Structure 1
Amino acid sequence: MKIPFNGYATLAIPNAPKLCKRLAMMMALTLVSSASGFIMFHNIVQLIYYTACIVCFVYLLGGKDTHIEPKFLVFYALIGINVLILDIDPIFNSRIRAAFFILVTFTCSPFVVSERARLFRLYVFKYSIIGFALLSIGSFFCYFLGINYMNQHVAGQLYNEAYINFQGVGGTFSGLTVQSMMLGPLSAMAAMLFLNEFQLHPKKIYIVLFIMASLSAFFAASRGALLALVVPVIYSILLERNKKIGLLVVIAMLAILPFAEFVLEGVINKNGGTEINIGSRQLKWDCRIDEFKSSPLLGVGFSSIDPNGADDFNRLTGQIEPGSSHLSVLSMLGGLGFFVYLIIVLTAFIRVRNSNNPNAGFLMCILLIYLVHLTFEGYIFGAGGMLCYVFWLVIGLCFDSRYKLDNLEV
């Protein structure tokens, strides 16, 4: 079976053993399936996801010359110390969540350093980004066909009118994905794929695909995701001085301009006007800062918040919405954990920025998408979520970007 987009230069990577490809495909399929709204059995997908993580964990341990990344070892150690010595409310299940986080990120983060691990991460990313591109382009058509799978996954609101008559109503459209907050960043990544491919091979089809993926991000009406799309585009034009990308963006803007009111209607309605409104996040950000002040060294605890604070959480499951991943690292792990996290992110940024890999620019753009989006969403420690996995996968790929992969023995 021919894989869509498989001939793209952006996705050109060295050949790998069949077992590596199959395990990477299995891992990627669970990620894409968890993001897909038309998959009705997400509990089964979640079980397969964790099973895949365990299988891939064993596979990566068998690589030749396997060793560990010291920075990530320190990060794991701090998380372990955090959940063992802090008096964290049991409702948050911090120790169990920390164990799952370490298990999941073992397969995608830069923790395992080996040729096998590097190649595996490349293939998981390749297969995943293909799936995201298909979901994004498909969601573009869904917007005009009246198809919205977000309606199927909002508890207690299966036939809510807002999810049926979604056009122009911000935050109610997810297309083929499970949630509008999923469609936004997913479409931003897909748009950057087509943007980078246009840079390598300036064909009209990539202009069309870039516009479609970008519009899917607009239809999702996620302000954080839209900003996450704009920042890497500006980076590509200004810092990389890329005339081809600048041309594509100008063409895209001219093509969308006559329909600007229609495209932006959902974002404006969700925002409550044309001015930027972050009121929905401000309380959470203030709470994260207060939590850091209350425990500046070690934080309040992994995957937890102050149960007596102003921020709300699910008091049955302990599920939280931190409002910002960067601030959640600061509040949960304290200044010590945030310092190590900052070193990891800066190392990823510097390595991919200085890489001679021809696709390093694309990887940098995906990293920028995440760094911006993580400012507004708190999924960085959500080991069961696709966005969490792919973020740490991107960090792993950035760490790997200084290596040259060819003629591997894995």
Structure 2
Amino acid sequence: MTNYNSRHSVQFVAIFLTIFTILRIIKFVPTMPPALYYMIWGISAVYILMHAYVSCRINYSYLLFIYICVISIIGNDIDPKYNIGLRFIGFLLIVCSIGPIFDNDWLYLLRQKCFHFVLMGMTIISVISFLIYCILPTLMLTERGNLYGGITIHSMQMGPIAGLSTVYMIHMILNRHKGQGNKKLIFYWVCLVLSLFSCILAGSRSAILAMIVAVSIYIWRYYRNNILQFIKIIVCFVSIMAISTPLWWTYTKTVQAKMELSEKKGGFITSRSSAWEARLNEFVDSPLIGCGFATVVGSFSERGNEGMVEPGNGWLFVLSTTGIVTFVIFLVSYIHYLFFLLKMSTDESILLGSGLIFWGIHINAEAYTLSSGTFLFYFLWLSLGYAYSYINKCKLPKLAY
């Protein structure tokens, strides 16, 4: 049980972490240096972990994950440009704070509130971005590529943010409007439509696909005892989308351009296939400890000369940089959490499970699984941490992964 003071401290930390992490991706806010970002995370981690020792459950599989990451750093000659010490410390601070390593009642409450606060923040970003785009469209375009990024720093951030916002609004419409009146229901529907438009405008095919699958799974599990209703909703949705095509088709220009470019190059995944092949080659060369935590071999997947990389696949990035054992831990834990959450089929577990489905699909194209300086990394590991805490809280058999 947590007392009033504990709940109050959870609320404060959750609000702080949400604002702190979200502001870092807003393009109108000055960029925070990585060292300062990790220093603030260090202070936050110390405070959070001070609350973790009380009746603490430990996930030993992820402790092994961390240990092998350390071995992958020691066992490889990593170029200094990657600043691997700072990267790994940042990874360790964030994953130990909100990831699936430690768990107790206080950490459960923290992750629960952070999870919902971030989803609310994503909705605000998606809605505001589209509204500003309708008034000043050029202001919402990125400097790099002239793509729709909304108020975020990149369209590749905007896509998954708007996609998850869409999933969250489906959740709010189906579960939270009961007894709240029509005004809130209308508000949720408006946020849903604007989030959907933002997701389409961003032009991230992986985010759109992940959003469609996650929403479909959410509705299917919500109406698991009424399959006919599920079918009716899907048919109704498809019909509405077909009828309203003239309204939203113009927002698919970026997606159409990417599809045309892919066709010219030979296929839908052509832009990622070379990166995937490079990751597999790195794994084959060093299957046990990988090529080094959060790094790549050669310059093919690098962006610039500052150690930034674009690995192309989050699953393969874990495999290629830290080896087979960490990959198995990451994959098996993901499947475990997803299985139990969808099996439980409470309103919260369906939302959390749908979120994990979104991540599982999206990281096939965007590799932020080990990129501790990114917002998507934070929310991915927060989702995994909350899933671990939620399953423990519901007193299912204790998970080893």
Per the shorter chain, which TM-score range?
Answer: 0.7 to 0.9
- What does 1:4-403 align with in structure 2 at a 5 Å threshold? 17-39=7-29, 41-43=30-32, 47-48=36-37, 50-63=39-52, 64-148=54-138, 154=144, 163=146, 172-200=147-175, 201=177, 203-238=185-220, 240-241=222-223, 243=229, 246=234, 249-250=237-238, 253-254=241-242, 256-272=244-260, 277-307=268-298, 311-314=300-303, 316-355=305-344, 357-403=346-392
Shift, 1:59, TM fit? 2.9
Shift, 1:318, TM fit? 1.5
Change (3 A) 1:49 1:257: farther
Q: Which amino acid aligns with 1:253?
A: M
Q: Which amino acid aligns with 1:401?
A: Y
**1:169 alignment partner in structure 2:** none
Shift, 1:44, TM fit? 5.9
Q: Distance in 1 between matches of 2:100 and 2:18?
A: 17
The CA RMSD over aligned residues, in Å, is 2.6
SS for the counterpart of 1:43 is: coil
Describe the superposition over 1:334-383 as per-residue Cα deviations: whole angstroms up to 9, x where unpaired: 21221111122122212322336431111111111111110000111111
Q: Distance in 2 between matches of 1:139 and 1:255?
A: 25
Q: Percent identity?
A: 24
With normalisation by structure 2, the TM-score equals 0.85
Describe the superposition over 1:211-264 as per-residue Cα deviations: whole angstroms up to 9, x where unpaired: 211110000001111111111122234455463664773475256323243132
Change (3 A) 1:55 1:239: closer
Q: Check the 8 A contact 2:222/2:345 in 1, yes or no.
A: no
The number of residue pairs the alignment matches comes to 374
Q: Check the 8 A contact 1:32/1:131 in 2, yes or no.
A: yes
Change (3 A) 1:305 1:52: closer
Shift, 1:178, TM fit? 1.3
More displaced, 222-231 or 197-206? 197-206
Q: Which runs of 5+ in 2 are unaligned?
A: 179-184, 395-401
Change (3 A) 1:184 1:256: farther
Change (3 A) 1:111 1:264: same
Give 1 or 2: higher helix fraction.
Answer: 2
Q: Which runs of 5+ in 1 are unaligned?
A: 1-13, 155-161, 164-171, 406-410
Q: Check the 8 A contact 1:351/1:399 in 2, yes or no.
A: no
Q: Which amino acid aligns with 1:216?
A: S
Q: Which amino acid aligns with 1:187?
A: A
Describe the superposition over 1:104-134 as per-residue Cα deviations: whole angstroms up to 9, x where unpaired: 1111102111111111111111221111100
Q: Check the 8 A contact 1:330/1:338 in 2, yes or no.
A: yes
Q: Distance in 2 between matches of 1:89 and 1:273?
A: 34
SS for the counterpart of 1:176 is: coil
Describe the superposition over 1:5-30 as per-residue Cα deviations: whole angstroms up to 9, x where unpaired: xxxxxxxxx98622211111110001
Q: Check the 8 A contact 2:262/2:270 in 1, yes or no.
A: no
Change (3 A) 1:286 1:45: closer
Q: Distance in 1 between matches of 2:271 and 2:174?
A: 37
**2:399 alignment partner in structure 1:** none
Change (3 A) 1:134 1:272: same
Shift, 1:314, TM fit? 4.4
Q: Which amino acid aligns with 1:173?
A: Y
Q: Distance in 2 between matches of 1:73 and 1:142?
A: 45
Change (3 A) 1:46 1:21: farther
Shift, 1:274, TM fit? 9.0
Q: Distance in 2 between matches of 1:107 and 1:187?
A: 26
Q: Distance in 2 between matches of 1:149 and 1:104?
A: 32
